[in-house]
Structures are given as C-alpha cells and as structure tokens.
Structure 1
Amino acid sequence: MPRKHRSRRKARSRREADVNKIIVIGHLGRDPEMRYTPNGQAVTSFSVASSRRYTTSAGEQKEETEWFNVSAWGKLGETCNQYLAKGRQVYVEGRLSSRSYEARDGTTRFSNDISLTDVQFLGGRGGDGDGAPASAPYESGAGAMADEAPEFDSVDDLPF
C-alpha cells in the first residue's frame, strides 16, 4: 500500500520548536542608554565587544573583535541601565538578529543585534572593581519582552 504524504503543516507541528539563542561574554563599548516607548515600557541599549586573540601561521599575534548591539526591555532594561557602564564585563544571552544598512559614506554595513533575555554582571562597574556584585540582582525570565513580542500557542499559529 502506498504511503500517504502528510501535509507540510502537519509535519512541522510534530517537530521541535526552532531555537535562536546567542551567548556573548564581552565588555561594554559605551554607557547604556535608556528610553521609554510611547506605552511607557523601558528599553535600554548598549554595545558589547567580544575579542579573540590568535596566532597566524606566520607566528604573528592577531586580535579580532565582534560588536553586538544589545536591547534590554522592561525591568531587565532598567536593571542594566542602573548597573552597567562602559568597560564593564558582561555575560549576555538573547535572540540574535542581523541587519544591513547603508552608512553615510555609501557603503553597506552589517550589524549583529541581540534582544536580551538574560544578563550576568561580571567584574566591577566600568572594569574598576566597584559597583554591583558579580551576579546580577535580577532573575530574568520570558516576560522581559512580553509587551513587545507576540505569543503563539503552537507552531501552526506562526505567521509564515
């Protein structure tokens, strides 16, 4: 008896959910900037640089740095704004999105953007040893972006 093919929609609902998660440990490149959306929700933006050092086959020492733009929403954003400062080492975890844009000089540039879901403050404020304790006083959760991101009950409800 020939095997019946399931619809693509039905097959997809039986698979695991997709995952988009990035973890970065690096240093803040600038002080956080907090603003409020028209509905009063806090959003804090900051940049994180993560560098790696390596030796080329010619024996030359090189360093490569990746930059990430981070957005923290709600209470998580308020906490980041309070405890983070330029130079501070931080662990960030969240959803990655990449985009391209045209720079003032006409060249195409790319950026790596993270919607923050978890943070741990490492080292002192500004890298000088003072400030908040090494672990964040905030337990992040899935509700950090609840007002901004729509919720879907199942994979079948996704808009694609």
Structure 2
Amino acid sequence: MLRRPIIQVLRQFIRHESDSTTSLILERSLNRIQLLGRVGQDPVMRQVEGKNPVTIFSLATNEMWRSGESEMFQAGDITQKTTWHRISVFRPGLRDVAYQYVKKGARIYVEGKIDYGEYTDKNNVRRQATTIIAGNELY
C-alpha cells in the first residue's frame, strides 16, 4: 500500500518537472505562404533611413468557384474573387532581380512568409498592414 502513493507522487513530480522544462525549450513553428498570380504594378524600391532597401510590388491571385447546383458549364455559373497582396523583397540579390525584371502583368510564383504590422499614415492615423515577405523563391 505504501508503494502506490509514492509512485503517484513521483509521477506528479515528474509531470510537473517536465512541464516546467518544456517551457524553456523553444518550439518550432511554421509561417509559410505560396502565391501564384499576376503582378499588379511595376516594382518600386524604397529605403527607410538606416535600413536596407526593399522592393515592393502588388500581386493579384484569383479564386474561382462554380455557383449553383448545375454540373454542366453554363455562362454565369463561374464566380471569381481577386485578392491583392503586398509583396516585399528584402534579400539583396532577390530584391535587385525583382526590381529589374518583374513587370506589371507578369505571372510569377512567390514563396515567403506573412507579416502583420502597423504604420502611421500621412494624417497620423494608425493603420494595419499585411505584407508577404518574399523568401528564397520568386519565379
């Protein structure tokens, strides 16, 4: 009878100990996005004081679905939604290639991560911005 309570206490101690040690270990996470679409504007290169330059352009992606219950294709059955994405390229080699060769209307593939941030506009109003930060892939 004495063994059972000691084992339970040890299990609780080990469980508690393992919970506290896992909080010190950094967990891996994933923030990855893949986009295939058309460039909406020619890239612009900007440089903020004391920071590296960045190439920025917009990319349109389309989502299409069939509305209604009809299995056969008919005019008016397809609905399309266009989503615009702001793409920022910080990597020096990729940034320069994007600025020089990406043009409005080009179809490109972008791989990167999504970033949410805030900025203050010209009227001192705080705004939220969602940006795709291009990583290694830009085709």
Aligned equivalent of 1:93, options 92, 111, 115: 111
Match of 1:62 in 2: 79
Counting only pairs closer than 5 Å after superposition, residues 7-18 of structure 1 correspond to structure 2 as 10-14=21-25, 16-18=27-29
CA RMSD in angstroms, aligned pairs only: 2.9
In structure 2, distance between residues paired with 1:99 and 1:58: 41
Q: Which residues of structure 1 form unaligned runs of 5+?
A: 104-108, 122-160
Q: 4+ residue runs of structure 1 moved beyond 3 angstroms? A: 6-9, 12-16, 98-103, 109-112
In structure 1, distance between residues paired with 2:55 and 2:93: 10
Q: CA deviation at 1:64?
A: 1.0
Aligned equivalent of 1:27, options 38, 51, 56: 38
C-alpha contact (below 8 Å) 1:42/1:78 kept by paired residues: no
- Report sequence identity in percent: 27
SS where residue 6 of structure 1 aligns? helix
In structure 2, distance between residues paired with 1:34 and 1:83: 13
Report which of the two has the higher share of helix: 2
User: TM-score scaled to structure 2, two decimals?
Assistant: 0.68
Higher relative contact order (CA 8 A, sep 6+): 2
Bigger CA radius of gyration: 2
Q: Number of matched residues?
A: 116
C-alpha contact (below 8 Å) 1:90/1:119 kept by paired residues: no
Q: Which residues of structure 2 form unaligned runs of 5+?
A: 1-6, 71-76, 122-126
